[in-house]
Copies of this chain bind each other. A is one copy, B any other.
């Protein structure tokens, strides 16, 4: 009698990602184009890396004074301090009052995992998490894995074709007391100061716990402090919160997963207790976070000259993306494509919605070999001088040659 496998009941898992990329790779059409990369691409079609990082990689590898001992569970002090100062600003009330801290994590998923794990144990007022972000799926899986009930909302309004920041207020109004609110892409938010005040007032009354996501500080506006300025509002209003800070994207070290789970508390005592519990959770996850990414980031942030070089490289990326968006918009206009394309240039950052419906997306993928996600949110850094004409022409055709059912893909997705 053959032995039964221990794994006999284990099914093949649904794949999280990669099917679009797989189809792209298998496609042998000469004009095939992939616009769904997660990373920022440089003009030569390779993942972008800040030039200062390339230089530092060599220096670090040759530094005889470095010690390759295990990294402390929390991360090195200099890395945490530099990252928090970048996020909050050196003069931040929370830093001055010694009530902000952080734990080095393996990327943004690591930060969300640690945060969710902490909240499951120590924040039991509600098991509901509302996520408002462009990037929702992985965060949903993390919180669901921890037993939370998760609702997802997009900032993008596919009918009006604009970023609808009032969703923060609408979701918060209906959120249960003590629930968690994941606020992604806050640098792209267009709430007025008055609307922010209103939002914070509702959140305070309902004791809603904010969990921010800063995935690529500097990539929205080109200015580092502008992209995280909203955190200051919350600090000033006496909020306690978590913030996932990712440093892989804005340095171009995607392969090293450099993240921080930042914690703001009311005072130093509560901060230390919270950090100590998070370190416990980190111990059973990976114990010692990987060093290289943090070393690169720290070397840049702690050296004023290198930091300037890095900031300059960020600005160049953002300027280039704005230029590409302008060009795409202009080309669509010149081709007589119906509709206003202002929404392209109104959005910030590498990834933006084209404002296409599911028929348009299907047309582009199947007929034109242009691979874009179902929601039509593409990576504009993948558009370059070599492919811009083909892309604009194809989008124009997609609009003209497909029947518009009046329902956009973002709605269909739900």
Interface residues of A (CB under 8 A from B): 3, 5-13, 15-16, 38-39, 46-47, 49, 57-58, 60-62, 67-71, 73, 106-110, 113, 122-123, 138, 141-142, 145, 207, 209, 238, 240, 252-257, 265-267, 270-274, 276-277, 279-280, 283-293
Contact = CB atoms under 8 A, between A and B. Distances in A.
Nearest to A109: B287
Most B CB contacts (10 A, CB to CB) among A70, A138, A252, A255 go to: A255
B286 A107 contact: yes
A323 to B, nearest CB: 24
A288 B255 contact: yes
Nearest to A293: B290
A337 to B, nearest CB: 32
- When all copies of this chain in the complex are counted, the total is 2
A58 B59 CA distance: 9
B288 A254 contact: yes
5 contacts: A7-B266, A10-B270, A138-B287, A142-B284, A256-B291
A122 B10 contact: yes
Given A255-B68, A286-B286, A280 B7 contact: no
B67 A46 contact: yes
Given A138-B284, A267-B5, A290-B257, A10 B273 contact: yes
Contact of A9 (B10, B122, B142, B145): B122
Given A70-B38, A255-B291, A274 B107 contact: no
B106 A270 contact: no
Contact of A284 (B46, B141, B207): B141
A70 B253 CA distance: 8
